[in-house]
Structure 1
Amino acid sequence: MKKIIVLVLVLCFTNAQAKEIYATFTVYAKQGAKLAFNSTGIIKELHVDIMSVVKKGEILATLASDDLIATNNASKVTLKYASLDYERHKDLYQKKLIDKSMLDKYAMAYEAIKAKIEIEKTHFAKTILRAPFDGVITKRMIEIGDVVSGQMIKTAFNIQSEHARILIVQMDQKYNSDISIGDPFLYRVDGDDQQYQGEIYRIYPEANSNNRKISLQVIAKDLKVGLFGEGKIITSDDRHHLAKESQE
């Protein structure tokens, strides 16, 4: 008896009209940071000021470090002679004129000074404050001659992304099931008649229990940080489903 395969496709379409959900927002920088020295010292140089545009890794300020440089120079001299001692005793060991324990003492002295130099490099690096990402300096809270402490961290600069912005959008929690990633957001900044458009790229996982609001994030560009406004999320409930395959 011949088997017949029957495919049953059940197409269900719910063509509900798109909803417009009212929402408010505040503008934030996509990246922002408070920068500080992780070391104690005196501010020696300032390379940037408020509104300076900087690249990742660019030097922003430095601490006086003459003592660290002098210590490192002395360590390099010690390393030079520790290396000579080690090579000389390695030759004696190969000629079986000294035992391994004697050679190990000189090897340890050589490796110890190398490790000390690496530690000194780390300490020196902490006297240089660099930009962690491309951005613009929005605040400067230090002056040449100021004393900073690694134990009492003081913010030196505020930095934020130059162009990239995030809108933190808030809407009533009752619409939680209506919104999706990718839904368009039409909005206006307070005091500006121009309409902008973005789309939802992140939905916060929980509602604010104080105001019963759901927060979302929308990418924007070049708006001033701190501005606020309002807009509408455009949602669609269109759905389609495939159902099932049966076999006889």
Structure 2
Amino acid sequence: MPSLRSITQITVFLWLAASSLQAGEVYATFNVEARHHAELAFTSSGTVAKVNVDVASLVHKGEVLAELNNDDLAAALEVSKVALKYAKRDYERQVKVKKLVDAAKFDQYAYKYEHAKAQLAYQQAMLDKTQLKAPFDGIIYEKMVEVGDVVSGAMIRTVMKVQSLKERKLVLAFDQKYWREIKPGMTFRYSVDGDSTVYTGKISRVYPYANDANRKIRAEVEAEGFTPGLFGDGYILVPDAK
């Protein structure tokens, strides 16, 4: 039968082992968010003429999602293209005989050519403002616009929301007392509410401030596939904790 001293030594050993384990794990909760998401709005005024996507539509960067009535701007763009075409021809002819013509006259052709290029760029920019384009590859998860709606560039409102298709991030929250210990690169072992699987990831960034309302600091862990809005918790593994 073990002596009282042996039992005491074993108890102290187990307590120290448990303390060491706890010191090396920092509890954190998290919410799942899309790694990339954007709220899209028109910066020009007009009537919506086309809506090319719906909720759950997969989109590619640069794809036109919706468009205002822009027939007048499209026509103005074509006029600018024609003007540039002939201004360029005149300029190139003058370049060939530059030594034979008056410098001031040559400058007039050069000015008309440069002006035509600037005018084309301006008309293209005006037309682009009537088109809502995808800022990155992703999926539409909210749509608040229909053909016939009137939008105002003076009162900007969100008409669509897009997020990355699979790329996710876990936004962690942990007690501020660990602000010195938690660093990017540390392992986070976690589970998502409703899923018994244990996952692991690496902390990609630690926010440089504490929330004064709940005394928590946030961090991010990159992940894939989870539905945005899910909740979970886990432990940040702190190496060589004492």
Q: Say whether the fold is shared (TM-score over 0.5).
A: yes
Mapping for residues 68-83 of structure 1, pairs under 5 Å = 68-82=73-87
Counterpart for residue 43 of structure 1: 48
RMSD over aligned Cα atoms: 2.6
When structure 1 is superposed on structure 2, of 152-161 and 176-185 the one drifting more is: 176-185
Q: Which moved more, 1:112-121 or 1:44-53?
A: 112-121
**TM-score, structure 1 as length reference:** 0.78
**Cα deviation code 1:124-178 (max 9, x no counterpart):** 1222221111111110111111122222212121011111111111111223333
Taking only the aligned residue pairs, the percentage that are identical comes to 46
Asked if 1:162 corresponds to 2:155, the answer is no
* Alignment map for 1:1-248 (pairs within 5 Å): 17-18=20-21, 19-82=24-87, 95=100, 99-237=102-240
Cα distance in 2 for partners of 1:202, 1:88 equals 59
Counterpart CA distance in 2 for 1:77 and 1:149 is 31
Contact 1:17 1:237 in 2 (8 A): no
1:129 to 1:92, Cα distance in 2 relative to 1, 3 A = same
**Structure 2 letter corresponding to 1:49:** D
Structure 2-normalised TM-score?
0.80
How far the C-alpha of 1:57 sits from its partner, in A, is 1.5
Number of the residue aligned with 2:3:
none
Bigger relative contact order, structure 1 or 2 (CA pairs below 8 A, ≥6 apart): 1
Aligned residues: 223
| Inter-partner Cα distance in structure 2 for 1:82 and 1:57 | 30
CA distance in 2, matches of 1:91, 1:202: 59
Q: Using a 3 Å threshold, how does the CA distance of structure 1 residues 205 and 90 change in structure 2: closer, same or farther?
A: closer
1:57/1:87 CA distance change after superposition, 3 Å: closer
Structure 1's 105 and 224: CA in aligned 2 closer, same or farther, altered over 3 A?
same
Higher helix share: 2
C-alpha displacement at 1:234, in angstroms? 2.1
User: What SS does structure 1 have at the residue aligned with 2:205?
Assistant: strand
SS in 1 for 2:200: strand
Who wins on radius of gyration, i.e. which is larger? 1
Residues 181-222 of structure 1, C-alpha deviations (whole Å, 9 max, x = no match): 322222222233222222222112222222121211111211
Q: Which runs of 5+ in 2 are unaligned?
A: 1-16
